[in-house]
Amino acid sequence: MFRKIPFLFLFAFFLGCTPQQEPVQIDLSELTISAIHKAYQKGSYNSKDLVGAYLDRIELENEALNALTFINERALETAQALDKEFSETGKLRPLHGIPMIVKDNFNTMGMPTTAGALALQDFIPEEDAFMVDRLIKAGAIIIAKSNMAEWAFSPMHSESSTFGTTRNPYNLDHVPAGSSGGTAASIASNFGVIGLGTDTGNSIRGPSSHCSLVGFRSTLGLTSRSGIVPLYLRNDVAGPMMRTVEDATRVLEIIAGYDPEDPVTKYSEGKIPENYQQFLQKDGLTGARIGVLKELSENDPDPGIKALFEQAILDLKNLGAEIVDPVGIKDFADLRQNQWCSEFRADVESYLATYVKRDTMNTLEDIIRVGTTSEYAKESLEYFLDAAGRSPNPEIECGDPYTDERRIAFREGIEKRMDELELDAIVYPSWIGKPAKIDSFQEGYRGDNSQIIAPHTGQPAFTVPMGFTEGNLPAGLQFLGRMYAEPTLIKLVYAYEQGTKHRVPPASELQ
């Protein structure tokens, strides 16, 4: 487990007082960026107080979840420096003093970045990933790294060789999905405010859905992936996993943009508005046209999920939307086929050469030689020894969503139908199955809708809480938009969130 730190002592030390003095009492339940900044401006507490309170909470509650892997021992020091800056300037940066939890596949300078694998268990990057650097410059404070499915292989569960298995905070017998389950469980449990995850097929939206969070998979090309351990770089997107749409939007505003180290972000130039917060409109569903994709919503759904989705459609109507049901996309069953390409070897070996730079850790064979404690990861690594390209159609070159003919055809089929029906978005349940049991995750894994469209077409897809099924298990509603239509999606998901208020924190001795 991560190194345990005497948080109260450190908190008192950096505050310049003795350990006997009482720390400021802060109600951490469901804190938002806006509420925190108002408290800073009023002097109710400062960022040192807040970081100390979150560290205390983590110390008490993380053991049951096993969501976090490393605590940043310099978080209080960073908070102190930000407090000093605010006292001198009277100005707050956009994310000034906001505690952040970062998935363990993002490079974080001076902190371990393992991707859950023994092969990287002692790797400490020399610099932050591009996205992490942007957030830090905006004032965010890394307080912890989060557990993940090893190498991000599993959408089903979050088990690593370095830190074991993460549990769902709403029901400890169930998975938080994968691979960003540690981020999801910790943000859902109010261990921090900003959560970062990665999504190759499911891994922002799936865990967010399972943990009653907002998850943004933005247009592939809007945000950078440099300095992040890849799974399939052609599909990978990194982004926010948060408790509210507003907070996720504030983070998106910071991370969107061109990175010369990630060429695909060149496509975003000229497509980013001055700010995204202007689209946080409570009446954003008024007059919107929303399509229902029955191929995903009616594919043998769990009865509880089906009931929640039907209620969600009624809620969208009541909030002013016009529902188009069904959408019916021509050749959908064919277009979705042969989209995956096995590029792990090439992508991970490029990462090792660029960032790890060790003679003993250059290849996939080196990773396998070091080994794994996970049978699931072991089987996946052995598969990638020989797997490459698009196996059903090896003659079709694998590329990004702007150059790959199969991906372009899939997207054009969807966007053409959206244009014909004048749709603002398409909706479906993020999962049509409940979170699986920890001890039978493979048998219980079903209904993962996030894998089917957005990872391949490159389109943005956002999930928001839709309610709870039997067993206190969360479910999510997913909105799919056109390329670079984040402004439209923000309006829609914000209006739905504000009109339904489904987000509820998990039960906790600290709530």
Residues annotated as part of the active site: 103, 179, 203
Tell me which H or E stretch contains 316.
helix 303-318
**CB-CB contact of 346 with 313 (8 Å):** no
Q: Which two tokens stand for residue 180?
A: 């960003």
Laid out side by side, the sheet with 425-429 consists of 68-71, 140-146, 98-103, 194-199, 237-242, 214-217, 461-469, 473-480, 425-429, 289-292, 322-324
Tell me which H or E stretch contains 310.
helix 303-318
Helix runs in 92-229, H state only? 130-137, 181-188, 205-210
Identify whether 505 is preceded by a cis peptide bond (ω within 30 of 0). no
Find, among 52, 54, 8, the residue nearest to 28 by Cα: 54
How far is the C-alpha of 88 from the C-alpha of 120, rounded, in Å?
Answer: 41
Identify whether 160 is preceded by a cis peptide bond (ω within 30 of 0). no
**CB-CB contact of 457 with 401 (8 Å):** yes
Find, among 210, 187, 194, 197, the residue nearest to 465 by Cα: 210
For 31, phi and psi rounded to 5 degrees? Answer: -60, 140
How far is the C-alpha of 200 from the C-alpha of 5, rounded, in Å?
Answer: 34
**CB-CB contact of 245 with 208 (8 Å):** no
